Amino acid sequence: MKVIFLFSLLCLLNSCSALEAFRRLQVVKNEDMHPMQAEDHPASSVGGLRLSKLYHWHPDEPSLLQEHVMEEDEYRRRLELGVYNFTEGCCSLKTERERVRTAAALNFHFYPYAYDELFDDDSGEVAWGKAEIYEKGDALDRTNGKLGATAEERAKNAELYQKKQQSFMASFLTSDALTEEWDPRHYPEDTFNEGSSTATGVAMGVYESSDGEKMIVFRGSYSTGDFDNIVKWIKDWILDRMEQRVKDSYTDMGYELTDEQKARSGGDVQSRCALRAGTTVFTQLHNTDLANNADGITKEDIKRYGYWPITKMMVRQVLPTSRSISSEGPTYITGHSQGGARASLVSMWLEKEDNVKYRTYAMSPVGVSCFSRKLSFLPGSTEGENLLHDVDPTYIHDQIVSYYHPFDFYALMDYQVGTVCKYGTSRLHTDLEGGSDLMHWVDKTVGYTGPELMVDMFQTIPADVFGKTRFWTHSILWMNIIFENATILLPDGTTDGGCSNEVLIPEGDPDKLCPEGDSDATCNALFLGVGVFLFALIVAVPLCCCACTHTCCFKRDKKDNMTIYERTVRPKVEKTVREMTRREPKVAPTEG
């Protein structure tokens, strides 16, 4: 009992010390603007919305939270010089459809690698085609495109623009170039946050209009470490539920599973067990380069707590508890992929903490309903034992709208917490300007399990197959392009696939919709067998070595002893014997 008590006390002390590490985070207010806020950077202003504030946390300085501000005077100066162009279509916060389009555009611009060079210095392969769109002079928000004077001309030009972008991306994806939509292993270095493929972090931007409206943007996964953080979030889903949820979506859309698709999940034992064994996937799957700093956040802190404390601290720089809520202008929240999940969590947290509902647009988000019930953070601390102390996923949050494609594997990893709008359902078989239609790639992917798709060493299908499926269903670029179609994104913000409340999972999950996270019997048997084998190997090898060593030593000692005898003792004995045999015997004296 004493041992257990001491162990528990040690764990508690470790938790508290880690909590203190988060509390010691310092906000550094930089005098210089960030490179993304420079005049010539497309992200500095999107359709007249300026990137007024940018926050990022970098592993090289784990105790510092960086803040970069574009002052109002600088923004006014740029307006007077005509640096920014204002056009219809993007970006406006006046109507629901324009807010959705704006959220999608800001999420695209806030990925820094959208403006990186096309080729990776290390691999020599194309990173992604987004940068080339800008090189061609066709900004995503069409600020330098001719929209036309009438509604008819604008609609026609918008359609031509969409076809042009669609044709370019189709030719890119059907070429021999790298087709991984955002494979972090092939990104070039960048000056913003995690340019390194082994780094990890979180970034948030604040875009403001001249009327004081704000949209807070959370950047999605940008590095290998970020991706590992997702894997840690939804590992149970990857292992147990994602495959079935994708199949359900496939049949819901009117498609029938083939015998081949039904049989695809039969060979994932190795990959499933490999992922299950990687309980610290976040740091072990890739060699995450996170600095250990006594005054900051360590690798173990991030592995245990994720980015949530850092995220909350960023939000409080923009929405402090001391603010006057009644006088603040309209504020919206958005994010893409992991950033979309973060946006949903922040929206729920502010609703609970500040009693304010901020309209939130989660783009292709990794769900958070089950994840938020499972993630344990800050154990033993005053902030509680799990994320449920900050958020409540047990009811529908009507201020949160999640937009995703019905075959988005990432969005189907978990349930959302508000309204769900599915898009692109009317274009599943649209020919992509000479490329294969979407269902060609979806058909090749449905049926495989999460581990088979996401554990690189055990991938069953070629990476480009899943990469192409992922582009058409999860890419923020393709979402922007397809949202230009007025029949896909409707004026009220609904979509061609319809909008409805997400499946509600009440407290306690009575229907067992969330993965239990129980260990897999097959994997347990495999682990046991491997464990017994390794134990036997560990025991047998030293014993064999000792036996061999003992035998060899004995033989060597015996040989050495005989040599010593022959060289020293035996010659002396033989000499003594010879001397004794040469001596004459002594004669006893006689009596006279």
DSSP annotation string for 338-359: HHHHHHHHHHHHHHHHHS----
| Structure-block tokens of residue 122 | 């290390």
Alpha helix (H) residue ranges in 82-223: 96-109, 130-135, 151-173
531 membership: H or E segment, kind and range: helix 521-564
* 109, 480 contact by CB (below 8 A): no
For residue 518, give Cα distances in angstroms to 231, 267, 304: 17, 20, 19
Could you tell me which residue, 577 or 91, shows the higher pLDDT?
91
Q: Give the per-residue pLDDT at 347.
A: 98
Q: What is the pLDDT of residue 407?
A: 95
Most confident of 180-189, 305-314, 354-363, 544-553: 354-363
Closest CA to 448 of 257, 277, 588, 576: 257
592 pLDDT exceeds 50? no
Banded pLDDT at 168 (limits 50, 70, 90): low
Q: With 80 as the cut, is the pLDDT of residue 506 above it? A: yes
The three-class DSSP label of residue 546 is: helix
What average pLDDT does this structure show over 161-165? 61
pLDDT-derived band at 461, boundaries 50, 70, 90: confident
Q: What is the pLDDT of residue 63?
A: 74
Q: Return the exposure string of 267-302: e unless at least 16 CB atoms fall within 10 Å of the residue's CB, then b.
A: ebeebbbbbbebeebbbebbebbbeebeebbbbebb
**CB atoms near residue 504 (< 10 Å):** 14
127 confidence band (pLDDT: 50, 70, 90): very low
> Is the pLDDT at 290 greater than 60, yes or no?
no
How do residues 364-401 score in pLDDT, each as one tens digit? 999 899 888 876 544 443 333 467 889 999 999 999 99
Query: How would you class 554 by CB atoms within 10 Å of its CB: exposed for 0-12, middle for 13-18, buried for 19 or more?
Result: exposed
Global confidence as pTM? 0.75
Parallel, antiparallel or unpaired: strands 331-336 and 360-363: parallel
Parallel, antiparallel or unpaired: strands 419-422 and 499-501 = antiparallel
Residue 111 has pLDDT above 60, yes or no: yes
pLDDT for 294:
39
pLDDT over 70, % of the chain: 53
Q: How far is 143 from 91, CA to CA, in rounded Å?
A: 10
**531-556 per-position pLDDT tens digit:** 555 556 666 666 666 655 555 554 55
Highest mean pLDDT: which range of 48-57, 181-190, 368-377:
48-57
- Tell me if 318 sits within 8 A of 215, measured CB to CB: no
Residue 579 has pLDDT above 70, yes or no: no
DSSP β-bridge partners for residue 495 = 489
pLDDT value of position 241: 82
Q: Buried b vs exposed e over 89-117: b needs ≥16 C-beta within 10 Å?
A: bbbbbeebbbbbbbbbbbbbbbbbbbbbe
| Structural contact between residues 204 and 216, judged by C-beta atoms closer than 8 angstroms | yes
What was the pLDDT predicted at 170? 56
Rg (CA), the chain: 33
- The per-residue pLDDT for 47 is 75
> What integer pLDDT is reported at residue 40 of this predicted model?
73
Q: Which has the higher per-residue pLDDT, 115 or 44?
A: 44
- Tokens read off for 205: 């931007």
Residue 438 has pLDDT above 50, yes or no: yes
SS3 assignment, position 204: strand
Whether the CB-CB separation of 118 and 133 falls below 8 Å is answered with no
Beta-carbon contacts of residue 496 (< 8 Å; ≥ 6 apart): 423, 424, 425, 426, 427, 487, 488, 490
Q: What is the predicted pLDDT for the residue at 218?
A: 94
DSSP state, 376?
E
Coil, strand or helix at 279 = coil
Residue 134 has a CB neighbour count (10 Å cut-off) of 13
Per-residue model confidence (pLDDT) at position 149:
61
Instruction: Please give the residue that has the higher pLDDT: either 502 or 566.
Output: 502
Give the Cα separation of 214 and 202 in Å (integer). Answer: 20
CA angle 86/87/88 to nearest 5° reads: 140
The residue whose two tokens read 């604008």 is 154
Is residue 27 pLDDT above 70, yes or no? yes
**How much is the mean pLDDT over the chain?**
71
Confidence of residue 103 (pLDDT cuts 50, 70, 90): very high
pLDDT score of 417 more than 90? yes
| Better-scored residue on pLDDT, 104 or 24 | 104
Which range among 19-33, 299-313, 477-491 shows the weakest confidence by mean pLDDT?
A: 299-313
Q: Angle between the 269-277 and 521-564 helix axes, to the nearest 10 degrees?
A: 80
With a cut of 70, say whether residue 86 has pLDDT above it. no
Instruction: Give the CA dihedral 140, 144, 149, 150, nearest 10 degrees.
Output: -10
Q: Are 393 and 371 in contact (CB under 8 A)?
A: no
Give the model's confidence band at 231: pLDDT under 50 very low, under 70 low, under 90 confident, else very high: low
Terminal alpha carbon distance of the chain: 101
Q: Which of 83-92, 180-189, 289-298, 371-380 has the highest mean pLDDT?
A: 371-380
Q: What is the C-alpha separation between 345 and 312, in angstroms, rounded?
A: 10
Q: Three-class SS of residue 575?
A: helix
**How distant is the alpha carbon of residue 31 from its chain centre?**
31
The pLDDT score that the predictor gives to residue 109 is 83
Residue 519 or residue 405, greater confidence: 405
Q: How confident is the model at residue 131 (pLDDT cuts 50, 70, 90)?
A: very low
Average pLDDT score over residue span 86-101: 77
Residue 443 has pLDDT above 70, yes or no: yes
The per-residue pLDDT for range 137-160, each reduced to its tens digit, is 344 444 334 455 666 776 676 666
- pLDDT at residue number 191: 30
pLDDT tens readout for residues 239-288: 778 889 999 999 999 999 999 999 887 666 666 776 666 543 333 333 33
Residues 476, 481, 487, 490, CA torsion sign: positive
- What is the full DSSP assignment across 157-194? HHHHHHHHHHHHHHHHHTSSS---SS-GGGPPP-SSS-
**Residue 400 forms beta bridges with which residues?**
360
- Binned at pLDDT 50, 70 and 90, residue 342 comes out as very high
CA 366 – CA 362 distance, rounded (Å): 9
Burial class (CB in 10 A: 0-12, 13-18, 19+), 410: buried
Q: Is the confidence at residue 132, as pLDDT, over 70? A: no
